Structure 1
Amino acid sequence: MRRPGQNWRRLSIPLLGACLLAALPVGSAVAVPPDPVPHTHETVHAAHRAGRAAPDKAADHAVRLQALLGQHSVLAADVMRSRIRGDDDFVQAADAALGKNTDAMTDLMDQLFGEDMVGTFGPLWAEHVVELVAYASAVAARDDAAREQAREELIEYEGELSKFLAGLSQGRLAPDAAHHALGMHVDHLTKQTDAYAAGDYLAADRTYREGYQHLYDLGLVLADSLLPAADRPALREPVWRLRSQLGKLLAEHVVLVEDVTRAAVTNTPDFDAAARSINANTRDLTAAMDTLFGTAAARQFQRIWGDHVEQLVAYSAATAAKDETRRQRARSALAKYEQDMAVFLNQATGGRMTRPELAQAFAGHDEMLLEHADAYAARDYPTAHDIAYRTYEHGFDLARELADAFGETVAARLPRGGAQTGYGGLAAGGR
């Protein structure tokens, strides 16, 4: 990733030695043929293929919990940063998006655990959101007394909510472990705010990513601790774990593209740090592809995906500059990427996902990100946040489709009995 308009050497994206997915038997390199795939730029969600069995509600709820927790982390960080910048228009739209996430979280808890649980969880969660914003406002105002008061309130919240969750788990979640996890969440958000206010954007963005990943992973811990015993085995199914991890990476990709888009549109000093973050996410996605399909295939994915990210940012910069020629050039390049990615994944999955289906899904993904860039450049922040919210959710639709296809592909390559011997730990930290 480079700043649009500068002749920087593109940052290399080496393969990671340690993957997010546990080691699996891998196949030969995937050769990508050059033939194009016809498609449109319609905004669509990944299509669910006909004949698929009904989804497992417990597993769906667990992914939803992870998604909402991860989204809370980045939305809260965005609100806190906007307080530091003094961008009142952005603050209002970001506050609304964070409120929407809080409502969705409360609704999910109601579905999972009933009104009695929500009666305690809802106020505690809402209060911690209020105190996070108060902390950022105090940092922006350089009011050390108010900052310390907000910090004390957050510590009190950590203790109350951790005791409540531990009690709800009936002993499966230790109070100290819950307290530590929630304390880390608050530390991530306050530290990234402090770093952002100090102009240390590399540290701020590094902590931004850590906060998202930590809270997303905490969703699995909570689901495994709070769901009924009969529902928990679904969370250990290999394809579910792959779906969870792909959702984590693809949703983070959306968040980080939108972050670097905002920096490109406004030409702010945090662009370089945002570019490093999206490159790091690309490395993680590439590592996952390496584990599943081998190094040669991963390198092909890296090249195609990296070009896609660059064109999204190029479009944002062209939009800010009101350069229609460059905008259309970026659109054309994205159309080619969508075809290339469709061909690559069709080949990688042995045809388990069709080229038109894949091209349509990625075209929809790109179209939403371009619409976000247009709205942000126009300073229509409510629309930009609404699109960002939908695009984040689309990442999980796509992850489900890919996980099913990837899982079937890997399973087909394993020797007889492989599901028991080598296919049970798709995600790091699998139990």
Structure 2
Amino acid sequence: MRARDVGSRRHLFLLLCAGMAVLLSAGPAISTTAAAGPAAHGTAAGPAAHRTAAAGSARASSADLAVRLQALLGRHSVLAADLMRSRIRGDDSFAQAANAALGGNTDAMTTLVGQLFGAATAEKFRPMWSEHIVALVAYAGAVADKDDGAKVHAREELVEYEEDLARFFAGASHGRLSPKAARAAVVMHVGHLTEQADAYAAGDYATADRLYREGYRHTYDLGLTLADALLPAADRATLRKPVWRLRSRLGEILAEHAVLLEDVNRAAVTNTADFDASADMINDNTRDLAAAVDTLFGAATARRFQSLWGSHVELLVAYAGATAAGKPDRRHETRAELGTFEKDMAAVLAPATGGRMSAADLSSALQDHDRMLLEHADAYAARDYRGAQDIAGRTYEHMFALARRLADGFGATVAARLPQGGAQTGYGGLAGVAGTR
């Protein structure tokens, strides 16, 4: 299989400048099994795994669980879109793995809803959520088959789901979330997924990927809207604290970075037509990362790491291409170059941490990040889609564990630099900073 010529695409990655600059205050390598991380593994978890997740959630604060709700909802949007796209491509093996991952995500969300709002609420939530996934897959199948009748029927099912789920959330909020607002949020979520499927099938990958990102961000923020409406007043007050807001926003952007890098690596491995659009998505995410670094530390810090970080991303994409092309020498070279990058970036960042993290610890954190992404590329190239989904889920979790560590390390003074706002804007978050959002 021919590898993509990623060297000629350097201009697409010039904005990949400051993602790891947010590591300035990180401690040693972050565990991917933190209780507050989203239990959204690539394969459907068994009963023992869910008991473990529930026990971890029981020890977590409501603020922890609110981030977890955001993370799981964002992951749902990504997995649903990936499943719909694989159905449109006729990629049945990938579709099966994505479906299993989506099932695991639904199980984790149901467990979390029970932790947040009680078992009775969770029992009502699961069937409605599962039915909406079935309808989304049916819609994608109709698009793939060019069956207008089936598409209309699937859309009717989705409208019914929208009404039911909106009433469910509005009722659970005891008046804090209006039925109109609840329905608007659900309608937008479904619209993002169905419209991106239509665009993807039409070969309009730029539009499909714009909707892919919008869907992720909207669904992630929906988690905050729901938490703010459904949690007790004392818990809701925590969601307005600067460190929590920073933790939430960093988690959103860093997790999306991992998702989009995995997507462009998938496109590189399979040499699909959406590679260019996937690369452009990485640029868009990096604008958000650069805006975050600019807001928290200033433009000079963001510019300082531009060259290193851009080269880092190119190396990861080059590794995926070399894997697909069966070039072991190039894969080995890329791994070695990544090792050099990790040491170089650590040497640049360590002094800026004020002694809170050594160059060795920072290099270790970078190695963990790169290792998971390389393993994902290997698994995908080997057509081990279940394994790739599992690695993607662990990588996603790692980003939220890292975001928590970073937010705590930066502290309230830095976190207070985030713009203020209401729940509808994620309490300010970084929405006002990233001009493309």
| TM-score between the two structures when normalised by the length of structure 2 | 0.84
Describe the shift of the 1:15–1:309 C-alpha distance in structure 2 as closer, same or farther (beyond 3 A). closer
Structure 1 Cα separation of the partners of residues 418 and 188 of structure 2:
31
Partner residue in 1 for 2:254: 250
Secondary structure at the aligned position of 1:313 is classed as helix
Deviation digits for residues 107-164 of structure 1 (CA, Å, limit 9, x no counterpart): 1011111111012111100000000000000110111111111111111111111111
* 2:427 corresponds to 1:430: yes
Partner residue in 2 for 1:356: 360
Partner residue in 2 for 1:178: 182
Describe the shift of the 1:110–1:43 C-alpha distance in structure 2 as closer, same or farther (beyond 3 A). closer
> Residue 15 of structure 2 contacts residue 286 of structure 2 at CA under 8 Å; is this kept in 1?
no
> Residue 324 of structure 2 contacts residue 381 of structure 2 at CA under 8 Å; is this kept in 1?
yes
Gaps of 5+ in 1: 17-28, 33-38, 49-53, 412-418
Aligned counterpart in structure 1 of residue 200 of structure 2, from 190, 196, 199: 196
Structure 2 Cα separation of the partners of residues 306 and 9 of structure 1:
8
> Residue 16 of structure 2 contacts residue 309 of structure 2 at CA under 8 Å; is this kept in 1?
no
Describe the shift of the 1:170–1:354 C-alpha distance in structure 2 as closer, same or farther (beyond 3 A). farther
Partner residue in 2 for 1:134: 138
* 2:216 corresponds to 1:212: yes
Partner residue in 1 for 2:85: 81
Structure 1 Cα separation of the partners of residues 31 and 168 of structure 2:
40
Structure 1 Cα separation of the partners of residues 336 and 412 of structure 2:
33
Secondary structure at the aligned position of 2:356 is classed as coil
- The amino acid of 1:285's aligned partner reads L
Structure 2 Cα separation of the partners of residues 312 and 137 of structure 1:
33
Aligned counterpart in structure 2 of residue 124 of structure 1, from 121, 128, 132: 128
Gaps of 5+ in 2: 36-57, 429-437
Deviation at 1:43, TM superposition (A): 9.7
> Residue 289 of structure 1 contacts residue 301 of structure 1 at CA under 8 Å; is this kept in 2?
no
Deviation at 1:3, TM superposition (A): 4.7
Deviation digits for residues 258-289 of structure 1 (CA, Å, limit 9, x no counterpart): 10011000111100000000111111101110
Describe the shift of the 1:9–1:100 C-alpha distance in structure 2 as closer, same or farther (beyond 3 A). closer
Describe the shift of the 1:390–1:423 C-alpha distance in structure 2 as closer, same or farther (beyond 3 A). closer
Aligned counterpart in structure 2 of residue 370 of structure 1, from 352, 369, 374: 374
Structure 2 Cα separation of the partners of residues 352 and 6 of structure 1:
36
Partner residue in 2 for 1:302: 306
Secondary structure at the aligned position of 1:171 is classed as coil
> Residue 165 of structure 1 contacts residue 178 of structure 1 at CA under 8 Å; is this kept in 2?
yes
Structure 1 Cα separation of the partners of residues 414 and 355 of structure 2:
13
* 2:281 corresponds to 1:277: yes
> Residue 106 of structure 1 contacts residue 122 of structure 1 at CA under 8 Å; is this kept in 2?
yes
Deviation digits for residues 363-400 of structure 1 (CA, Å, limit 9, x no counterpart): 11110110010010000111111111111111101111
> Residue 4 of structure 2 contacts residue 271 of structure 2 at CA under 8 Å; is this kept in 1?
no
> Residue 191 of structure 1 contacts residue 207 of structure 1 at CA under 8 Å; is this kept in 2?
yes
Describe the shift of the 1:195–1:298 C-alpha distance in structure 2 as closer, same or farther (beyond 3 A). same
Q: How many residues align?
A: 395
Deviation digits for residues 204-252 of structure 1 (CA, Å, limit 9, x no counterpart): 1111000000000111111111111121111111111111111001110
> Residue 265 of structure 1 contacts residue 319 of structure 1 at CA under 8 Å; is this kept in 2?
yes
Describe the shift of the 1:335–1:211 C-alpha distance in structure 2 as closer, same or farther (beyond 3 A). same
Deviation at 1:407, TM superposition (A): 2.7
Deviation at 1:406, TM superposition (A): 2.2
Aligned counterpart in structure 2 of residue 149 of structure 1, from 147, 153, 177: 153
Partner residue in 1 for 2:12: 11
Describe the shift of the 1:309–1:426 C-alpha distance in structure 2 as closer, same or farther (beyond 3 A). farther
Partner residue in 2 for 1:61: 65
Partner residue in 2 for 1:342: 346
Partner residue in 1 for 2:242: 238
> Residue 260 of structure 2 contacts residue 282 of structure 2 at CA under 8 Å; is this kept in 1?
yes
Aligned counterpart in structure 2 of residue 266 of structure 1, from 265, 270, 290: 270
- The amino acid of 2:420's aligned partner reads G
> Residue 10 of structure 2 contacts residue 314 of structure 2 at CA under 8 Å; is this kept in 1?
no
Partner residue in 2 for 1:159: 163
Describe the shift of the 1:397–1:293 C-alpha distance in structure 2 as closer, same or farther (beyond 3 A). same
Structure 2 Cα separation of the partners of residues 79 and 215 of structure 1:
17
Describe the shift of the 1:301–1:408 C-alpha distance in structure 2 as closer, same or farther (beyond 3 A). farther
> Residue 44 of structure 1 contacts residue 365 of structure 1 at CA under 8 Å; is this kept in 2?
no
Structure 1 Cα separation of the partners of residues 140 and 102 of structure 2:
15
Structure 2 Cα separation of the partners of residues 7 and 253 of structure 1:
22
Secondary structure at the aligned position of 1:259 is classed as helix
Partner residue in 1 for 2:395: 391
Structure 1 Cα separation of the partners of residues 341 and 33 of structure 2:
17
- The amino acid of 2:255's aligned partner reads A
Describe the shift of the 1:56–1:45 C-alpha distance in structure 2 as closer, same or farther (beyond 3 A). closer
> Residue 316 of structure 2 contacts residue 373 of structure 2 at CA under 8 Å; is this kept in 1?
yes
RMSD of aligned alpha carbons? 2.7
Of the structure 1 ranges 298-307 and 76-85, higher mean CA displacement relative to structure 2 is found in 298-307
Describe the shift of the 1:124–1:111 C-alpha distance in structure 2 as closer, same or farther (beyond 3 A). same
Partner residue in 2 for 1:100: 104
Structure 2 Cα separation of the partners of residues 85 and 116 of structure 1:
39
